[in-house]
Amino acid sequence: MAGIYIHIPFCRQACNYCNFYFSVSTGNKEKFVAALLKEIELTKNYLAGETIETLYFGGGTPSLLTIEDFRLIIDKLQSVYDLSTLQEFTVEANPDDLTSKKVNALKELQAFGLNRFSIGIQSFFDEDLKYMNRAHNSEEGLASVKRVQDAGFANITIDLIYGTPTMNDKHWRENLARAFALNVPHISSYALTVEPKTNLERKIRNKKALPVNEAQAAAQFRILMEEMREHGFEQYEISNFARPGKHAIHNSNYWFGKKYLGLGPSAHSYNTISRRWNVANNLNYIESINNNILRYEEELLTPAQKVNEQIMTGLRTKWGVSITNFQLPIFNAIEKNLKQIDASHYVLKDGVLTLTDEGKFFADAIAAALFVD
């Protein structure tokens, strides 16, 4: 079983917190699509022999693609892969793109297996959206989800960001209440991170934007966990919540260490032996693919790196890390390191290590303390 991820490297407007790879000039979109079709051809052996379980268009902003663009890409994929085995086909979409016309057009892709939308709501309040420099307002956010539901897509996830200095706790609870009222089966929610070299980081440094307060973000993470539990959502990964049976298959497969092929600028691929990542530059990507060259960097994974990745990702999930599956010296090292961790932060049961709610606040530090070398 394997997944295919396609990175669409364009956005209408730069959200000030974002450090994913994208360009706000869409002039090269046609050339990009042509290069992508060629990349599909050039990488066709990467997942040789694998059944394709998931297809994910992420970004950037996939909803900037026209239906014709989608059709070209899917046709090409179909010429190389058997997509009849797809269980989940997700498109990330921004609310400002989801007009009735666009949503109707996207319905056509149901015939190719499209069965899930990921909508970047971030907040249902205008002051937060303005702080983040989002291209949509709160009304458009609500309307976009309803439009997608009315078009017959029930399997929707929305992204919400907390810890924005414009948002107090009451306001965060209200945001969550609006999300629950929409009756979507999946919600991803992240603490606002101030990434280096983003406009947000510059603005905060120059005192042009309010700084982010870690204590506020922590309090809102606690509210998030409580509210989700109360509303029947399971926290199956630190930032991902689903109604029973509605967890994201594509993303979960990353955490289970399954193979995936990433296409498009900056996309990552994994085949259990190495990780590789495409050049994060549209022009370089297009130019090299036009010359039949795949431009990527690659890292062969050492046994220790593989163990550490399992610790890092597994600890964030409800499935945890099965430490008894590791070879004895590794198991012993992890058990020894566990003694340094606050006992209220984890549970070790039947050889599987998971984090408690308290532990989830320190997931990265706990993982780092358990790493082997």
Ligand X SMILES: C[S@@+](CC[C@H](N)C(=O)[O-])C[C@H]1O[C@@H](n2cnc3c(N)ncnc32)[C@H](O)[C@@H]1O
Question: Which spans in the chain are helix H?
Answer: 29-42, 67-80, 100-107, 126-132, 138-150, 169-181, 199-205, 214-230, 249-255, 282-290, 303-315, 328-338, 357-360, 363-370
Q: Kindly give, in sequence order, each residue whose CB lies less than 8 Å from that of residue 206, ignoring residues fewer than 6 positions away.
A: none
**Residue 192, interface with ligand X (CB under 6 A)?**
yes
Cβ(94)–Cβ(128) below 8 Å: no
Q: Which is nearer to ligand X, 190 or 255 (CB)?
A: 190
Q: What is the DSSP string of 109-125?
A: GGGGT--EEEEEEE-SS
Give the CA distances from residue 310 to residues 54, 63, 227, 237, 357, in Å, rounded to whole numbers and listed in that order: 21, 32, 29, 14, 20
Kindly state whether residue 201 participates in binding ligand X, applying the rule CB under 6 A. Answer: no
User: Which residue lies nearest ligand X, judged by its C-beta?
Assistant: 120
Q: Going by DSSP bridges, is the β-strand pair 321-322/352-355 parallel, antiparallel, or unpaired? A: antiparallel
Residue 196 and residue 169 in contact, taking contact as beta carbons nearer than 8 Å: no
Binding mask 70-109 for ligand SF4 (x = CB under 6 A): ------------------------x---------------
Whether 82 contacts 102, CB under 8 Å: no
Which one of 12, 20, 174, 219 is in contact with ligand X (CB under 6 A)? 20
Q: Which does 14 bind (CB under 5 to 8 A by kind): ligand X, ligand SF4, none?
A: ligand SF4
CB-wise, 106 or 161, nearer to ligand X? 161
Does 96 bind ligand X (CB under 6 A)? Our answer is: no
Which residue in this structure is represented by tokens 């298959």?
249
Pairwise CA distance, residues 324 & 138, whole Å: 48
Nearer to ligand SF4, 119 or 334 (CB): 119
Binder of residue 117, out of ligand SF4, ligand X, none (CB less than 5 to 8 A by kind): none
Which residues, numbered 116-175, are part of the site for ligand SF4 (CB under 6 A)? Answer: 120
> What minimum distance in Å lies between the beta carbon of 48 and ligand SF4?
31
Tell me whether the omega of the peptide bond preceding residue 49 falls within 30 degrees of 0, making it cis. no
9 binds ligand SF4 (CB under 6 A): no
* 11 binds ligand SF4 per the rule CB under 6 A: yes
Q: Out of 54, 122, 123, 252, which residue is the one contacting ligand X (CB under 6 A)? A: 122
| Cross-strand bridge partners of residue 89 | 55
Cβ within 8 Å of residue 83, ≥6 positions away: 52, 55, 74, 77, 112, 113
Contacted entry of ligand SF4, ligand X, none for residue 159, CB cut-off 5 to 8 Å set by kind: ligand X
Residue numbers 43-62 binding ligand SF4 by CB under 6 A: 59-61
Q: Which of 5, 22, 117, 125 binds ligand SF4 (CB under 6 A)?
A: 22
Residue ranges in contact with ligand X by CB under 6 A: 17-18, 20, 59, 61, 92, 94, 120, 122, 159, 161, 190, 192-193, 195
Residue ranges in contact with ligand SF4 by CB under 6 A: 11, 14-15, 18, 20, 22, 59-61, 94, 120
